[in-house]
Amino acid sequence: METKIKETVAAVLSLSPAEITDQTSVDTVRNWDSLRHMNLIVALEGEFSIRFREEDIPAMTNMPLIRHMVAQELERKPTKC
């Protein structure tokens, strides 16, 4: 999961996966604007086949929170029988 998140964040923010750390945030990445934030949300939803709750999206502004929210939504995802 961690690698896929890093690769997705890196692709959307035009960074290399090696540049993505726990310090990666809206405050440390110059081009992380509102449009790229929404592109990141859509990319993560597509990569993991999940849907974030609308009220959670604005808070997903750093890697620890993104990891937490992806894990939370994966836990909520119904399993196929």
Q: What is the CATH number of the domain that holds 56?
A: 1.10.1200.10
Where residue 32 falls (left for φ over 0; alpha for ψ -120 to 50; beta otherwise) is: beta
Residue 17 lies in a domain: yes
The structure's pTM equals 0.91
pLDDT for res 18 = 97
Q: What is the arithmetic mean of pLDDT over 17-31?
A: 97
Among residues of the chain, what percentage have pLDDT more than 90?
93
- For 41, the domain range is 2-76
pLDDT for res 78 = 75
Flag whether pLDDT at 50 surpasses 80. Answer: yes
Flag whether pLDDT at 52 surpasses 90. Answer: yes
Residue 81 lies in a domain: no
**How many domains are contained in the chain?**
1
Residue 31 lies in a domain: yes
Q: What is the arithmetic mean of pLDDT over 43-51?
A: 97
